[in-house]
Structure 1
Amino acid sequence: MTDSQSPKGRRKSYHHGNLRAALIEAALGLIEAKGPLGFTLAEAARQAGVSAAAPYRHFRGRDELIEAIALQGFGMFADRLEASFNDGRPSLLSAFGTMGQSYLDFARENPGYYMAMFESGVSIAGNPDLARECDRALGILRDAAARLSEHLPPEKRPPAGMIANHIWAMSHGVVELFTRGAPGARAPYSADEMLESGTAIYLRGLGLIP
């Protein structure tokens, strides 16, 4: 093991670098391996190659570290939703469907962030920054839903907020059903197929698509 790889070497580099980012990176690995409640702040410090006291320069405890990870995650998630809706899709409907797919992709590609956001018990309502980023993500879905129903007479348009929450809940349910060895892994169809068909059935039921 080289000095740069050893705890001593990492401690030196992080002392002069971004300790906060190093702790977040270490905690992400621990969350993926042990779950959001399966590690201590001291373990995150050890994984980052710093002393057990070092994290307290930035975080009062593990929960605050997880909140910081969830905040980053919601920001990344909102950016992804926005990009998926504005990437030149041939139709509004396909763009809307791509947003649901982006939820699945985010959970697959960023399990540590996803668990911090949705499985750690972090209080979104109790953290203004978290609430803001979560609302930004939901707002993108809500705006897309409003545009998708513009062709209907005003009195027949379902509430855009309801549609956004339903699509979010459906996407979240599919993720929970199919990821990390969950029962859906034995189904004869994929998570992507289930979400696509469920979204189509839902939107048809609302009269938003033929």
Structure 2
Amino acid sequence: MVNESYHHENLKSELIKNGLKLLDEEGYENFSMRKVAKACGVSHTAPYRHFRNKDDLIIAITLKAEHKFNSSLQEAINRYPNDIKSQIKEMGYTYVKFFVENPEYLRLLFRSDLKKHLNNENCEILKDKVQPFGTFYNTIVRYQSENQSNDAGSITDLNALVLACWGLVHGIAVLISTKDFVYEGDYLELTRKILWSETFL
């Protein structure tokens, strides 16, 4: 017997939570509102009280993931309010930690083909709401503006600096979360050692 006792907002949260798990397991083609409803223990019509269709639910799942990711990056920045260099290092560590602890988010945001299936309107919604990458980018912009240097070895091109920082932490996150890099010790401590060394920034 289906459970219709969810509070209005609780059901919406459960649909997003279980929807993420199903989307990760099933992929876009096999994902359906009916399956999400079953996972939540409600009638197959209940999800439509909150979402028009499966694409609408997928957008909500993606925005929830980006909001959670962005919040973790912002918390990292807030730990060092007066030290932009430490902000970037801590943000990089948090970037890796977030995806290592939530590999389903890594697959959702970077390794899925959702944009191929979503219509242009939905793709624009996602494009306009990309908060975490704006947070990452803007922090590096502030770092560069505050640390202009004439050293020959410094990176003065903003795009090059963003790519170097993002490429490093994203690459580490992927290698650890997919277990392609085998290491007997603590992966996150190793990551912190790399990012807090003098060779990074």
- Structure 1 vs Structure 2: percent identity of aligned residues? 25
Equivalent of residue 87 in structure 2, options 86, 95, 108: 95
Equivalent of residue 152 in structure 1, options 118, 131, 148: 148
Per-residue CA distance 1:136-182 (angstroms, 9 max, x = gap): 322222222223232325897623344234322332222221114x3
Classify the secondary structure of the residue corresponding to 1:13: coil
How far, CA to CA, are the matches of 2:192 and 2:23 in structure 1? 26
Partner letter of residue 140 of structure 2?
A
1:26/1:103 Cα in 2 relative to 1: closer, same or farther (>3 Å)?
A: same
CA contact (8 A) 1:84 1:95 kept: yes
1:172/1:157 Cα in 2 relative to 1: closer, same or farther (>3 Å)?
A: closer
2:87 paired with 1:58: no
Classify the secondary structure of the residue corresponding to 2:129: helix
CA contact (8 A) 1:42 1:52 kept: yes
1:96/1:167 Cα in 2 relative to 1: closer, same or farther (>3 Å)?
A: same
Partner letter of residue 171 of structure 2?
G
In the alignment, which residue of structure 2 is the partner of 1:138? 133
1:39/1:199 Cα in 2 relative to 1: closer, same or farther (>3 Å)?
A: farther
Question: How large is the Cα RMSD of the aligned pairs?
Answer: 3.3
Deviates more, 1:151-160 or 1:101-110: 151-160
1:36/1:64 Cα in 2 relative to 1: closer, same or farther (>3 Å)?
A: farther
Higher RCO (CA < 8 A, seq sep 6+): 2
In the alignment, which residue of structure 1 is the partner of 2:101? 109
Per-residue CA distance 1:112-140 (angstroms, 9 max, x = gap): 43332223323398533322332x32222
Tell me how far 1:201 sits from its aligned partner: 7.7
How far, CA to CA, are the matches of 1:177 and 1:153 in structure 2? 32
Aligned length: 191
Gaps of 5+ in 1: 1-6, 204-208
Deviates more, 1:23-32 or 1:187-196: 187-196
In the alignment, which residue of structure 1 is the partner of 2:14? 22
Tell me how far 1:191 sits from its aligned partner: 4.0
How far, CA to CA, are the matches of 1:177 and 1:144 in structure 2? 24
What TM-score do the two structures reach when normalised by structure 2? 0.74
In the alignment, which residue of structure 2 is the partner of 1:183? 180
Per-residue CA distance 1:12-62 (angstroms, 9 max, x = gap): 213x52332221122133345x25446433211101112223333433443
Deviates more, 1:89-98 or 1:191-200: 191-200
Equivalent of residue 123 in structure 2, options 127, 143, 160: 127
